[in-house]
Amino acid sequence: MTGKTAVLPKAAFFLTSLFLITFFLQGCDVSKEKEQSKENVTIGLVLDSLVEERWTRDRNIFISAAQRRGAKVIVQFGEGNAANQEAQINYLLEQGMDVLVLVAVDPHYLTKAVLDVRRKRIPVLLYERMVYNAGANLLLTYDGESVGNMQSKEMSGRIGSGTILLYNGMGRDFYAQEVHRGIMDTLAESISNGSIVIVEDHWPESSLPEEAFSFVTAYLEVNPPMDGIIAFNDLQAEAIIQALALKRLAGKVVVIGADADLAACQRIVGGTQAMTVYKPINKIATVAADLAIDLANDYRFTIHNGINDGTYRIPYYQLVPVAVTIDNIEETVILDGFHLRDEVYRNRLPDQ
């Protein structure tokens, strides 16, 4: 996925313009030859759900960044349902959006909806998640493999050797597959020599935390405790820790998540969660808003990274996440103002 300039095929509708933006994949600086030319850009922003804390933050930061450039944002939450998102995309088309920013619930179900948007010559920015065979203009996400690398390195350092349960994201999610690849690549040697044993490599049917709770509860009913659990996100990690608590294993089994939710950071300082992965939302949401406006203005991008969505090779813009543990929580999420120090330490006991 590196080293080649991504060129969209004709069917994906080339971005045509006299303007040029050049930016580099591991940074966030975007240089433009000319400021926004289209006034009153309307952005359709379709997010996953309000269940996960982070999507509310993404929405707020995205809207603020877009409004600074004079754009209007119409926000829709799919409530974890791809059919809802399809209907919302059609609604946004009726509202006359100039660009669609989409956090897809299902990367296959929404192919037709994205293709319909592209046929109307409206650009599409995929936010963190792929939609397959749709020829979107741009995929903007954090480096999933790096997330998996960070999670598995921390786990190995914590347990040395032992048993690990993997609770992944949904199998149809491109980003979840990237995270899983990073985990397995990092653990490959340890798995090969037998020092690490993956007792379960579970791909859930949904992103609901209730499913994570039920799965781990059922596992512990018939199996001995594992040494560690890597969860796809912090919402799942929370449910998993609740299941462990029923067996008085919370804080004894190493649990790692991702997204740096406030509750996860509180668990880190409290000792029941070992690590989370901080994806600076200020960074990704602000970059997404700027890129969406630039797409609406027909700027042409030169991007030195691309990924195949199954039919088209689309530009791929990656950001680098940050591992957060008790050792660096002060210098990361707290220093950035992502969470307030008093909030992070609110539930910490005096003897901890």
Give yes or no for a contact between 77 and 137, defined as CB atoms under 8 angstroms apart.
no
Q: Which pLDDT value is given to residue 352?
A: 57
Supply 108's token pair. 């296959």
Q: Mean pLDDT over residues 84-107, rounded?
A: 96
Lowest mean pLDDT segment, chosen from 70-79, 157-166, 240-249, 314-323: 314-323
Q: Of 286, 229, 285, which Cα lies nearest the Cα of 258?
A: 229
What pTM does this model have?
Answer: 0.78
Tokens 């596992």 -> residue: 219
Please enumerate, as own/partner, the contacts of 106-115 that have beta carbons within 8 Å and a separation of 24 or more. 106/82, 106/172, 107/131, 107/132, 107/172, 107/173, 107/174, 108/132, 108/172, 109/82, 109/83, 110/82, 110/85, 110/86, 110/134, 112/86, 113/85, 113/86, 113/89, 114/89
Task: Count the neighbouring beta carbons within 10 Å of the beta carbon of residue 350.
Answer: 4
Domains 10-142+280-319 and 144-258 agree in fold: yes
pLDDT > 90: what percent of the chain?
Answer: 74
Domain extent listing, the chain: 10-142+280-319, 144-258
The answer to whether domain 144-258 has CATH 3.30.530.20 is no
The values of phi and psi at residue 90, to 5°, are -65, -40
Q: Mean pLDDT over residues 3-19, rounded?
A: 34
Q: CATH number of the domain at 10-142+280-319, out of 3.40.50.1980, 3.40.640.10, 3.50.50.60, 3.40.50.2300?
A: 3.40.50.2300
Give the confidence band of 51 by pLDDT, cuts at 50, 70, 90: confident
The values of phi and psi at residue 44, to 5°, are -95, 120
Q: Write the pLDDT tens digit of every residue in 276-305.
A: 999 888 899 999 999 999 999 998 777 778
Give yes or no for a contact between 136 and 104, defined as CB atoms under 8 angstroms apart.
no
Rounded Cα gap, residues 85 and 117, in angstroms:
13
Q: Mean pLDDT over residues 117-136, rounded?
A: 96
Q: Which pLDDT value is given to residue 300?
A: 77
End-to-end alpha carbon distance in the chain: 44
Task: Count the neighbouring beta carbons within 10 Å of the beta carbon of residue 211.
Answer: 16
Q: Write the pLDDT tens digit of every residue in 181-214.
A: 999 999 999 999 999 999 999 999 988 899 999 9
Q: Which pLDDT value is given to residue 6?
A: 38
Q: Write the pLDDT tens digit of every residue in 260-269.
A: 999 999 999 9
User: For residue 19, is pLDDT > 60?
Assistant: no
Q: Give 253's DSSP letter.
A: B
Q: Which pLDDT value is given to residue 257?
A: 98
Rounded Cα gap, residues 333 and 336, in angstroms:
5
User: For residue 4, is pLDDT > 60?
Assistant: no
Give the confidence band of 237 by pLDDT, cuts at 50, 70, 90: very high
